[in-house]
A and B are shown apart, each in its own frame.
Chain A
Amino acid sequence: QKEVEQDPGPLSVPEGAIVSLNCTYSNSAFQYFMWYRQYSRKGPELLMYTYSSGNKEDGRFTAQVDKSSKYISLFIRDSQPSDSATYLCAMSAGTGGFKTIFGAGTRLFVKA
C-alpha cells in the first residue's frame, strides 16, 4: 500500500463548478500537508500549506485536513479554465523537503 493515495483522474468539470480533490494517507506521523499545482510542461508549485488538522482558505481555494480519518481535501470554488492542471497532494512528518511524500496527482480539466 502506498503511503499516500490520490485518484489520478482525469476530472472534467464545467466552468464555475466546485471541485473537490482528495488524498488519503496511512502514516499517522504526517503533520504537514501541502497541495502543489502543476501546469503542463512545468514544474509543480506550492498552492496551499496546512499544519495539522483544520481548514485553510485562500481566495477560491480551501484546504481541509482530517487527521482522524487520514484524509485531506482541496476545494476549488468557481473553477476557471486557468485552473486546468495536475494537483498533487504532499505531506511530511517534519520540516525539510527530503521527508515529503507526494501523491500521484489528479489531472483537472475545467471546460469553458
Chain B
Amino acid sequence: DADVTQTPRNRITKTGKRIMLECSQTKGHDRMYWYRQDPGLGLRLIYYSFDVKDINKGEISDGYSVSRQAQAKFSLSLESAIPNQTALYFCATSDPTEIGNTIYFGEGSWLTVV
C-alpha cells in the first residue's frame, strides 16, 4: 500500500459544485501539503500544515480550503469549483529532520471542472 493515499483518483465535477479531495498517510509525518500541478507551471503549493492545529496558506490558496482532521489526514476542498481549477492535485508529507529535504507525494487526484 502507498504511504500517501489520495481519494478520489479521478473526478469530473460541474462548475459551482463543492468537491473534497482526501488524503491519508502512514509515514507518521507531522507535515502535510497540498500541491497543484499544471503543464508548464510545475508544482505549486496550495496549503500546508505542520500539525493538527496548524494550517498555512501557500502560493495559490484562493478558492481552496483545507482541514487537518488528524495527524494522518489532510483534506482539500473546493467550495465552488471553477474550470481553471482543472488540474492534477497532489497530497504530500515531509519530515524536517530527514536528510535530503524529501517530500513524499501521493499518486495524485485528477480533477476536471466542466
Interface residues of A (CB under 8 A from B): 4, 6, 8, 32, 34, 41-46, 49, 88, 90, 92, 95-98, 100, 102-105
Q: Is the CB of B101 within 8 A of A49?
A: yes
- Looking at chain A's contact residues, the main secondary structure is mixed
Q: Is the CB of A102 within 8 A of B43?
A: yes
Residue of A nearest to B49 (CB): A98
Interface residues of B (CB under 8 A from A): 4, 31, 33, 39-45, 48, 56, 58, 90, 92, 94, 96, 99-103, 105-108
Identify which of A43, A88, A102 gathers the most chain B CB atoms within 10 Å of its CB: A43
Q: Is the CB of A88 within 8 A of B42?
A: yes
Enumerate 24 A-B pairs (CB-CB under 8 Å) in ascending A order: A8-B40, A34-B102, A43-B90, A43-B107, A43-B108, A44-B43, A44-B103, A44-B105, A49-B99, A95-B96, A95-B101, A96-B31, A96-B94, A96-B96, A96-B101, A97-B31, A97-B33, A97-B94, A97-B103, A98-B56, A100-B101, A102-B43, A103-B42, A104-B41
A residues within 8 A CB of B100?
34, 46, 49
What is the bound-complex CA distance between A102 and B106, given in angstroms? 16
Instruction: Tell me the minimal C-beta distance from B47 to chain A in angstroms.
Output: 10
Q: Is the CB of B101 within 8 A of A97?
A: yes
Tell me which of B31, B40, B94, B103 contacts A104 (CB under 8 A).
B40
What is the bound-complex CA distance between A27 and B69, given in angstroms? 35
| A105 in contact with B94 given A96-B31, A97-B101 (CB within 8 Å) | no
A residues within 8 A CB of B39?
8, 104
Instruction: Tell me the minimal C-beta distance from B49 to chain A in angstroms.
Output: 9
Identify which of A88, A90, A98 gathers the most chain B CB atoms within 10 Å of its CB: A98
Instruction: Tell me the minimal C-beta distance from B110 to chain A in angstroms.
Output: 8
